[in-house]
Structure 1
């Protein structure tokens, strides 16, 4: 199988080819490895290769719905026994994982052949993927731009045709943002449906979840079938539908009541292409027979929600830094300066303030639940702006200098009152103000690649459902995939990316 044929198949298609004897798992792996060799120097999507482990795996029997399909996992929270999980952080880059994460074990049980780990920002703490440790990942559609974050390496690898689907995770948009930046499908499952263990029961009080980024709706559905369900060490026994998620793709979603909103208190002037993406989607949804209503304001105060999101993020990051210091004996200076700033902001919150922040989630949930009394779905842009150019969101030098001084004097309270939080909301969430809502409320959300700029830069459209809405999202996504197909589009192929030698 050559690279052109390989890229024409999604993961289920490749699994069918292995099952039928058209190609072997070993042959597929060599195509994927050759493709990775060709494109990764341009994109920096893969930061750890596991070629020998993968070759050993394909030498033996494989079983499951994805048997023989090459796969990449994210270098954050997706542990592979014996391989370090760096989380984009230098202090953690030399500690081998003691056991497989539950999701990694489920991927292996499904027959996938894991041959590497993908780039991510330090601790997954940004919507871009530019860690100091590995350097920036780049967008295959425009290498001067970010592939998004924090699952940016996975999205870049899928868009470039290294693998048809890759492991990802989402604590504030980290599946949907990269999917939108790279023209892919990104489904964030609802709270508790996919396990985070066995080392932790949940992350960020349930706001974060594991998943995948793919090219096809059916791959995302079949992957959810692989991943969904509780585990003995988990905090919940999630309700999994009796019918498979894959079976929903191709079914009629029925006539849905859809509220469409582009308004944001964080970004009052979204990019014209962000508006165009949603306007085009609204027309398509209407043509498909759905009841579509354009809304003038979000159902939840997104600026208040952003403050609560960042407060949670900063406090959790402070714990992650302290935990890494306990595990490795490293010092604060071993982390990126932006990480040190965010951790200091987290430490500046009192315990009561932090609990207050977490408890306000109930208000956001109730307001969103009230919205769903009248609608089946909320539709927004996934991105409020084009994917930023590499380095565009670097903290300004003057702000870095001021923050460094405050960190040295350990005046974190002053750091918090300096206006830095508002600046970070403006600089880092301004282009992605729509995704955190689904995380803090625990609702399923999906980004679909329904729009491109005249220059060919992808722009996604986000669909948020009420609890348990994954099946409905997949039914609608399958309908839209037929109405506005996207998988025929391919980014430019770097030289030397053809048939393996």
Structure 2
């Protein structure tokens, strides 16, 4: 690929590692990479509504002056939640912040590390209000459409990022995961989504943790090697972090190209806590993947994993979530210098604020303690029984847009969210690393992600296994239908 013939479409399906390689070879410049991404966003975002704010001229100036980093000049989009760069808009899906044109006053540690790695920020992606939904349909910016089927949701809360990566607008986009918000969109959009171990990526300097201990930061990508190499660039404690994950034995990008030793892999298709069966398409995806794993030499068997069904999984989360949303509204009121009423929020979030204001300190601490006890029981499965657990990422295929729209009754939204979080939320509570891989598509051509979970701090195991599966069942040639983008 020569500089004179490189086009936005030629670059479109290259992962970030390949794009950075072209820069190092002198085949393209960082500015050409960024210009190509801008052209794709301008051409395709009208159908997707994945990108809600842009910084194209700033990105061009930054690309023209960037000279270092493993991802020198590679375009990236930030989710409109948590990670931020001073001066850029941050709205978190809230109409109140959009209407006030709120902008970040400092750089987050994650954004700083991404910039140091050479990424160029081109804009911010759509997210549900306060990241509390598993669909990306905020009243503030409207629905993001799944590039595999424009009538379907891309999942949430990192739905804008997942849709942008799946459609080839950028090779990498930031996301965060409080209950599955990286993995569920990755599943819905057919991309790779890793939730790292708790403390692997810093939430500083603004936060030590977020939603209690539930929040994890990382990215969505189209390749395992990108997921691994970005983690190499961003992982590590920052000063003042309340906890951190130990450093890996060797770079994650090395793990991505190394086949694992035979692993003990258990699979389960019944939802934790309820025992409800997953949708038949999701069950088929797990069974097909189990056979693939066997063919690769792994020891694969059904896993009852009764600890996942122990009392306390979903009972402890309502007060934690409600109190977190109530605190969020108060936090924004302080930053804005005006008291925001719950009425500025969408109905479900307004209801959560009212409920959260009733949660006492004793109830909060009791919920945290109970969830930690539950997590100890689950984590013990990896000490004696398993190396990896395989489940569907989501209990159902991508939903139709509108089914979980903000105007629906809060109880309906809560039930729908619980279904979508059934397989992902447990591992936000335990803090274990979990990855969604695009290994299956159903008869309707919709992606069905598979979730793999390893022991605490064992991203190396997941990345080795994910790389092996990517080589055995390559998904890079699968692209959304032309009619969708």
TM-score by length of 1: 0.91
8 Å contact 1:38–1:494 — kept in the other structure?
A: no
2:159 alignment partner in structure 1: 152
**Equivalent residue in structure 2 for 1:374, among 360, 382, 385:** 385
8 Å contact 2:432–2:456 — kept in the other structure?
A: yes
Instruction: State whether structure 2 residue 364 is matched by structure 1 residue 354.
Output: yes
Instruction: State whether structure 2 residue 300 is matched by structure 1 residue 289.
Output: no
1:415 alignment partner in structure 2: none
Instruction: State whether structure 2 residue 18 is matched by structure 1 residue 13.
Output: yes
Q: Distance in 2 between matches of 1:339 and 1:362?
A: 25
Q: 1:435-446 residue pairs with structure 2 within 5 A? A: 435-446=424-435
The gaps in structure 1 that reach 5 residues or longer are 401-419
**Equivalent residue in structure 1 for 2:335, among 327, 343, 350:** 327
Bigger Cα displacement from structure 2, 425-434 vs 136-145:
425-434
Bigger Cα displacement from structure 2, 44-53 vs 2-11:
2-11
Inter-CA distance 27–134: structure 2 relative to 1 (3 Å threshold): same
Bigger Cα displacement from structure 2, 358-367 vs 120-129:
358-367
Inter-CA distance 3–84: structure 2 relative to 1 (3 Å threshold): closer
8 Å contact 1:306–1:425 — kept in the other structure?
A: no
Displaced runs of 4+ in structure 1, greater than 6 A?
A: none
Q: Distance in 2 between matches of 1:362 and 1:58?
A: 45
Cα shift at 1:8: 3.3
Q: Secondary structure at 1:120's aligned position in 2?
A: coil
Instruction: State whether structure 2 residue 34 is matched by structure 1 residue 29.
Output: yes
1:98 alignment partner in structure 2: 105
Cα shift at 1:360: 0.9
Q: Distance in 1 between matches of 2:218 and 2:378?
A: 23
Q: Secondary structure at 1:204's aligned position in 2?
A: coil
2:319 alignment partner in structure 1: 311
8 Å contact 1:171–1:439 — kept in the other structure?
A: yes
2:87 alignment partner in structure 1: 82
Q: Distance in 2 between matches of 1:266 and 1:7?
A: 42
**Equivalent residue in structure 1 for 2:278, among 257, 262, 270:** 270
2:287 alignment partner in structure 1: 279
Cα shift at 1:370: 2.2
The gaps in structure 2 that reach 5 residues or longer are 1-5
1:448 alignment partner in structure 2: 437
8 Å contact 1:309–1:436 — kept in the other structure?
A: no
Instruction: State whether structure 2 residue 266 is matched by structure 1 residue 259.
Output: yes
1:39 alignment partner in structure 2: 44
**Equivalent residue in structure 2 for 1:65, among 43, 65, 70:** 70
Cα shift at 1:202: 1.6
Inter-CA distance 273–220: structure 2 relative to 1 (3 Å threshold): same
Cα shift at 1:351: 1.9
2:465 alignment partner in structure 1: 476
Bigger Cα displacement from structure 2, 169-178 vs 330-339:
330-339
8 Å contact 2:47–2:145 — kept in the other structure?
A: yes
Q: Distance in 1 between matches of 2:342 and 2:349?
A: 9
Q: Distance in 2 between matches of 1:127 and 1:293?
A: 30
**Equivalent residue in structure 2 for 1:169, among 161, 172, 176:** 176
2:233 alignment partner in structure 1: 226
Instruction: State whether structure 2 residue 457 is matched by structure 1 residue 485.
Output: no
Q: Distance in 1 between matches of 2:407 and 2:68?
A: 51
8 Å contact 2:372–2:429 — kept in the other structure?
A: no
Cα shift at 1:248: 0.5
Q: Secondary structure at 1:220's aligned position in 2?
A: helix
Cα shift at 1:424: 4.9
Instruction: State whether structure 2 residue 397 is matched by structure 1 residue 386.
Output: yes
Q: Distance in 2 between matches of 1:241 and 1:426?
A: 38
8 Å contact 2:66–2:118 — kept in the other structure?
A: no
Cα shift at 1:251: 1.1
8 Å contact 2:348–2:413 — kept in the other structure?
A: no
TM-score by length of 2: 0.94
**Equivalent residue in structure 2 for 1:2, among 7, 11, 20:** 7
Q: Distance in 1 between matches of 2:96 and 2:406?
A: 22
8 Å contact 2:434–2:454 — kept in the other structure?
A: yes
Cα shift at 1:47: 0.5
8 Å contact 2:79–2:126 — kept in the other structure?
A: yes
Q: Distance in 2 between matches of 1:98 and 1:223?
A: 25
8 Å contact 1:381–1:434 — kept in the other structure?
A: yes
**Equivalent residue in structure 2 for 1:110, among 106, 112, 117:** 117
| RMSD of aligned Cα (Å) | 1.7
8 Å contact 1:266–1:426 — kept in the other structure?
A: no
8 Å contact 1:148–1:177 — kept in the other structure?
A: yes
8 Å contact 2:84–2:107 — kept in the other structure?
A: yes
8 Å contact 1:267–1:430 — kept in the other structure?
A: no
8 Å contact 1:119–1:137 — kept in the other structure?
A: yes
